[in-house]
Amino acid sequence: MANLVAIVGRPNVGKSTLFNRLTKTRQAIVSDTAGTTRDRQYGKCEWNGREFSVVDTGGWVVKSDDIFEDAIRKQVIVATEEADVVLFVVDVQTGLTDWDQDVATILRRTKLPVILVANKTDNNDQIYDAAEFYALGLGEPQCISSATGSGTGDLLDLVLTKL
Ligand code: GDP
Ligand code: MG
C-alpha cells in the first residue's frame, strides 16, 4: 500500500484513539483494557489536499506478560515491513515504561522515518513531562492529545514532510 502510516506502541497509549481521529471514524475499538484491538485496522486520512493510508497495528489478546511482549514486538516488526512512516505512540501520563524501551530498540534499527508521539498531553503543563521521552533516542516527542485533538494538526504537517 502506497503512503502508509503505521501507528505502533504498547497497549493503552491511545493508538486506536489516534487512528479514529486521523481517519475521522470510530472504526478502531478504544478500550481501557490493554490489548483489545485484535487486528490491524486500515483507514484513510486526508490533510492539506493529500491522502494517505493509516494502519492501527493494534495488539493481540494474550494472557501472560511474556507473550504480551512478543506480541508487541511482532506488531512493530510487521508494521515496519509495510509502512512508509511510523508513528510511535507513548503516554505522557504514564511516563516512560520498559515496553516503550523495547519498541524503541526495534525502531532505532529501521531506516524508516519514525515520529515519536507523546499522547495524552491534555494540558500545557504535561508538555514538560514529555521531555523524558528524549531518552528513547528517537528525537523530539510531538505532544498531542488524541482525546481533544490538540497537536494533531502539527503532527499531520510533519507526517506529510516524511511521505
Ligand atoms: P491503544 O490500546 O493504544 O489502542 O489505546 P486506546 O486508543 O484504546 O486508548 C486507551 C485509553 O486511553 C482509553 O481509555 C482512551 O480513552 C484513553 N486515551 C486515548 N487518548 C487519550 C488522550 O489523548 N488523553 C487521555 N486523557 N486519554 C486518552
Ligand atoms: Mg487499540
Q: What domains can be seen in the chain, in order of their start residue? A: 4-162 (3.40.50.300)
Q: Which residue ranges are tagged as binding site for GTP?
A: 9-16, 56-60, 119-122
pLDDT of 84 strictly over 90: yes
pLDDT of 109 strictly over 50: yes
Entry pTM: 0.91
Distance CA 89, CA 83 (A): 15
Q: 35-43 contacts: CB < 8 A, separation 24 or more?
A: 35/11, 35/59, 35/60, 35/61, 35/62, 35/68, 35/71, 36/61, 40/78, 41/16, 42/1, 43/19
Kindly give the distance from the C-alpha atom of residue 9 to the centroid of ligand 1, in angstroms, as a whole number: 12
**Which residues surround the ion ligand 2 when the cut-off is CB under 5 Å?**
15-16, 37
Best of 12, 25, 88 for a ligand 1 pocket test (most atoms within 8 Å of beta carbon): 12
> What pLDDT score was predicted for residue 60?
46
Q: Is the ipTM here above 0.90?
A: yes
Query: Model confidence at 1, in pLDDT bands (50, 70, 90)?
Result: low
Best of 10, 17, 32 for a ligand 1 pocket test (most atoms within 8 Å of beta carbon): 17
Distance CA 17, CA 20 (A): 5
